[in-house]
Structures are given as C-alpha cells and as structure tokens.
Amino acid sequence: MNTNKYAVSIILPCYNVAQYIERAIDSILIQDFKDYEIIIINDGSTDNLLQKCDDLGYTEKGYIKILSFKNQGLSQARNEGLKIAQGEYVYFFDPDDYINQGMLSKVYLKAKEGNYDAVHFGFQTIYEDQGGIHYDKAESPYVYQTNDEIIHNYLPRFLGITQDNINSFVDLNHLWNSKEFSGVWRFLYKRSVLIDNKILFPKRIKLIEDKLFNARFFCYAKTIALMDDVLYNYVIKEKGLLTSSLNNVKGLVEDKIIGIEQRAILRNLYLKEKNIDIFSYYIGTIVFSALELIMRLSDISFFSSRKELKRYMNMEDVRVGIKEIDVSHLPLKLRLPIVMLKYRLTYLLLGGMRVLKMMGLKINI
C-alpha cells in the first residue's frame, strides 16, 4: 500500500552539478506551493556538490534528503530517488535546469482537478552558450480520458517516426516536428501508477531513457492532462552528453542498436499487456536511423564503416522494418535510398555517400 506524506516528491539526479544546484533548488524554494519533498541523489559526483549543499543549508532542512551512491548513471539515480519518494505525485527535475515561479501549484492543482495519472506541460529551451530561447508547448489544453486513447493517439507522438507520419509526409521539417520531446521533466506523474506497475528507468541507456520511461508509463496510464503553460527551462550547454555521443560515430551505432533492442522490449510489453503491436509507431525511426548511420559512417574508413553498419543492419527488427515500410508517399530523394535498402544495396549506398562527400556535396536527411 502506498502512503503519501507529501503532495509532490521532486527528484534531482546529480552528477557534478555543483555550479547549478543553487539555481535549481532556489527555483523550487521560491514556489508558492510548499507541500513537497526534495530528493537529491548524488550520483558519485567528483566536484564539491555535497559541500555546496551543506554550505547552502540544504542538509539542515527536513524536507530535503541527500543520498549518495557510486556513479550509476542518470537512469539509476532517478530510480534511487523513486525508491524513497513519499509524494502522491513524482517530479523528475534535472538540476542544471530550473522551473518557473508558480509551476508546482499550477501543475499539482491541474493533477488534482481530475485525479489525473499525469500532467504534461510546456517548456522553453535556453541555449546557454549560444544565446537565444526556443519555445515549445503542448498544442492546446486537452485531457486523454482512457488508456486506449493514450496508446493509440498519444504514445505515437513520442516513440518514433510512425508509418502514419510517413503517409502524411509534407516535408522533412514537418516530419521531425511531428514528434514530441520526451523529457520526463515535462510531466508530473502519479506515484502509485509508477510503483504498482514497477515502472523504472532502463539502465545503460544514454539518449532515449526518458522516451522509454514514458512509453512504459503510457501502457498503464488511464488519464493524462495537457497544459499549454510554459513552466520549465531546459538549459542546453555547448558540450553535453547528447553532443558528445552524436559526434562519436561508433558510439552512435551502439546507441541506435540499444534503441532498437529497447523498443523491442516495449513492443513485447504492449503485446503482453494490451495485445497491441506498436511496431508501426517507430518503423520510420528504424529506417531513417539506417540512412543516418550510412551518412555518418561514410566519414570513417570503409572497412570500419562496413563493419559497424553490418551490426545495425543485421538486427531482425531492422530487416523487417526496411522490408515492411511503405515509402510511396515520400519524395524521390528519400524514397530512392530506402528502396535501395530494400534491395540490400546497403554498401553501394555507403560507397556512394563517400563519393558524394569527396566531391564536396552537402548531404542532408
């Protein structure tokens, strides 16, 4: 049985974020809503995070808990926080970001309005080094009232490029913009749904851990309310985990492979729990990832690129996805390379990409 000591548990996974922690915690402390606990998970930080927390008086506040573990990664740090959370709702907050004043009261009141399993709200992206702000919102306030509606109408917006996205193709910008950003800090989650269904963050995942967590949650959630309020500030620094991973071609291959494996686990979950096959919800991601890898691998030696590409292309879901995807609605410049993949002309594509780059031509997907 779940007991709720607080309205909201705020979980901050922290690794070497001493320089940001005061801004993050201050953005919580100035809230007009006070029924919360703050759980700081020190994930093996090597900076002065603990000393900073002590200097700022966090260790003296009963509603702030600080737990230290050896470095296990972002996902497990969040899981450790969830294990001890005592809130009716859970909020995962990245400590290098910050929330707007009034955020907690607005989101919690919305959650209680309909006893929703989750509330989804808007955010803005702040480019710390380059300057500038990009706004992103839910399109309009809405409430998903059933699990069936969440699975068929909401889940496809997050999981990947769907067959329906490809069938309604307008241009590449429209295709990419049809996907919602999956950051868990966009959601307030009912803790009982997470605990009762053993929903945790998957380990050893670097790029799509939030997407996978949300997809598991959507399998069980019965109601989700959308708000168009911009309440979170997502700060992007010049050199972060995402940037470094994408610049490492072999690491990118590994990330893509893990992404396929994890989506297969999700597919089996939905088949088992709901008797629903979600393969078409991410079939486009499988195929476009193959084209992306061909583009990126053409920058390294041909022998190494063939070896790395083979690892991805030999996966069963990749073979099936390339075979089954319908590309009749795509323009020729996209349809042609995918048709070449269907006819197993993978290495011809890889060689052709290398030649085009040597000629100085700019290639984009």
Domain ranges of the chain: 6-238, 251-358
Q: Are 275 and 153 in contact (CB under 8 A)?
A: no
Closest CA to 24 of 127, 95, 128, 124: 95
Give, in order, the Cα–Cα distances in Å from 175 to each of 15, 119, 145, 327: 34, 25, 27, 13
Q: Give the CA angle between residues 253, 257, 259 to the nearest 5°.
A: 115
Residue 35 pLDDT greater than 70, yes or no: yes
pLDDT confidence bin for 244, thresholds 50/70/90: very low
Residue 108 pLDDT greater than 90, yes or no: yes
Place of tokens 């990947």: 160
Give the residue-averaged pLDDT of 338-363: 81
| Whole-number Å distance between alpha carbons of 281 and 165 | 9
Place of tokens 């193959």: 290
In three-state secondary structure terms, 103 is helix
Note the pLDDT of residue 242: 45
Least confident of 157-161, 177-181, 309-313: 177-181
Superfamily in which the 6-238 domain is placed by CATH = Spore Coat Polysaccharide Biosynthesis Protein SpsA; Chain A (3.90.550.10)
Q: How many CB atoms lie within 10 A of CB 178?
A: 16
Alpha helix segments (H runs only) across 142-240? 147-149, 156-159, 163-167, 172-177, 191-196, 209-220
Note the pLDDT of residue 7: 98
Note the pLDDT of residue 360: 56
Residue 245 pLDDT greater than 70, yes or no: no
Whole-model pTM above 0.85?
yes
Write down the mean pLDDT value for the chain. 92
Note the pLDDT of residue 1: 53
Residue 17 pLDDT greater than 50, yes or no: yes
| Whole-number Å distance between alpha carbons of 206 and 188 | 22
Place of tokens 């380990």: 203
| Whole-number Å distance between alpha carbons of 319 and 312 | 9
pLDDT confidence bin for 301, thresholds 50/70/90: confident
